[in-house]
Amino acid sequence: MVSIALLGVPNDENSSFVRGPAEAPPLIRRELFSDCYSLWSETGVDLENRFRDLGDVAFADDVDPWIAIETAVDEGLAAGDPLIALGGDHAITHPILKAVRRRHPRLAILHIDAHADIYHAYQDNPRSHASPFARIMEEGLADRLIQVGLRTICDEHRAQFERFGVEVVEARHWKDGLKFAFDTPVYVSLDIDGIDPAFAPGVSHREPGGPSVRQVMDLIQAIDQPIVAADVVEYNPRCDLGGQTATVAAKLVKEIAGMMVRTVQG
């Protein structure tokens, strides 16, 4: 039986505006496992007893956080099951992918976000949460990067898209039924601010004009290759309204997990 490793990554030290995403993992878990909701995915997968919760990455002053994250992810993948990381800010995607890539010589990233997060070094910080995909592509951690839902593109982003061959679908061009053809395993990187803030207000950088929760789930549910790992990042409880965004994040974790089971076990 396919299990889903669940790993909290409570790190937001590279956030550029406000802190708070480091507080997200336990709140997403609380919603995910609440008796208020069913653990069946929309795609017909019973996730009861499917999650293998690894707890949260433990950070120590004498260990580089990136090493701690990479090591924890590597250990979480050791059993051969897919893994979902709960952020944390988007900077954590870089060390996560360092571990994932070692196990997958061919890999595509489906990145859903309001922001491209591909600045060379935002605010002179190469580890900024606005820069992980620059590091990822520089280091060859994926063969293909698809960014969907963007609505804050600047000239530096466009130059980086050309440099790395990024495929981009801006939010203004998102149509119902959007899907992609993959021929490799897939990593899903889901920034909660990729969703319109009307549905998910609990983020540090609200950017109106995004897709609905339904559109994001439809896109994920259309993936027909193994989803081997994923992250759900940038939920900021300090900016949430009545826990609305925690519920959205948990729903998306559940639907990603359901698709992992379906695509990995065939």
The DSSP symbol for 165 reads T
Q: Is 90 annotated as a binding residue?
A: yes
The token pair at 98 is 């360092």
Alpha helix segments (H runs only) across 54-177:
65-77, 93-103, 132-138, 155-164
Report the alpha-carbon distance of residue 253 to residue 32 in Å, rounded: 8
β-sheet with 186-191: strand ranges across: 51-56, 4-9, 83-87, 227-233, 186-191, 108-112, 144-150, 167-170
Q: Is the dihedral of CA 65, 156, 196, 133 positive or negative?
A: negative
Q: Are 28 and 6 in contact (CB under 8 A)?
A: no
The token pair at 51 is 């999650």
Q: Is 113 annotated as a binding residue?
A: yes
Q: Is 191 annotated as a binding residue?
A: yes
Q: Is 196 annotated as a binding residue?
A: no
Q: Is 129 annotated as a binding residue?
A: no
Please report, to the nearest 10 degrees, the dihedral formed by the alpha carbons of residues 170, 25, 246, 248 taken in order.
50
Report the alpha-carbon distance of residue 39 to residue 20 in Å, rounded: 27
174: amino acid identity, one letter: W
Q: Is 117 annotated as a binding residue?
A: yes
Show binding-site residues for Mn(2+).
90, 113, 115, 117, 191, 193
Show binding-site residues.
90, 113, 115, 117, 191, 193
